[in-house]
Amino acid sequence: MIDVSGSSTGTAADGRRLVVPPPGTFRRSVALFRAFRVEQTDPDYFYGMLAADSARQVAGYADLDGKTVLDVGGGPGYFADAFRRSGARYVGIDADLGELAARSEPGPGTLLGSGMALPIQTGAIDVCYSSNVLEHVDKPELMADEMVRVTKPGGVVFLSYMLWWGPYGGHETAPWHYLGGHYAARRYAKKQGHPPKNVFGESLFRITAGRMVHWAKQRRADGRVEILDIVPRYHPNGFKWVVHVPGVREIVTWNLVLVLRVR
């Protein structure tokens, strides 16, 4: 079981040692926001930092040692090493073969499939994890339902996604997404000479905090899940209140985390 109180470490794909300050601290938030700024130019650094922090964050809700973790939308495997270092059996799944092979050939425990129709037996997974994927699917509730379905009773679902009305909701087209997703995409293409990686209406969609909080509360009312936490992913302790303020949460939260225990 990994230490969830102190700094966590990781390794970037190029061998750089990465250190993420302790959870809940202002230093951690600054480190992650700084890393976030170089997502496009230095993805090995950003995703290495995020993976190390994510494994520790998930371990705050579930013992990962010896448990099977399914990473929905895991992409080129940045999170695999971090979860395996925590003792978990890691399985990654992505619908895009290009994403899976972006760094190297997909390794063992990698599956090609859709998050909205997971090729996993019902109740087979201990921890179902997804990071920054939900805003890229046109039916986010369906993907979230699939994550609940494949998780065994008592298991944990950790679902994190980028909010549309946050500063980076338009991803590389931000902040122009505030004037409309299609406008932002056209502006980006004109300025850069090529379309954005995340095309609004095709691979990037408008999603809010309120929408998925409502979904989680519905599933709780149905008796399917217990809500363990709803938190802003990158913020320090003391900012949890923002997720409970409609309107404000859409802008300030930036990235929302829903943590559920399956019943």
What tens digit of pLDDT does each residue of 18-53 get?
A: 777 888 899 999 988 888 888 778 888 888 888 899
CATH number assigned to the domain covering 8-163+207-262: 3.40.50.150
Structural tokens at position 144: 């979230």
What are residue 258's DSSP bridge partners? 159, 230
Share of the chain above pLDDT 90, in %: 70
pLDDT greater than 70 at residue 13: no
Buried b (16+ CB within 10 A) or exposed e, 4-36: eeebbebbbbeeeebebbebbeeebbebbeebe
- Domain residue spans in the chain? 8-163+207-262
Tokens coding 109: 């425990």
- Six token digits for residue 230: 């709803």
pLDDT for res 210: 97
The per-residue pLDDT for range 58-103, each reduced to its tens digit, is 999 999 999 999 999 987 677 888 899 999 999 999 887 555 544 5
Looking at residue 261, its pLDDT comes to 98
Mean pLDDT, all residues of the chain:
90
Task: Give the Cα separation of 79 and 58 in Å (integer).
Answer: 12
pLDDT at res. 108: 65
**What mean pLDDT is predicted for residues 98-122?**
74
Q: What's the predicted TM-score (pTM) here?
A: 0.90
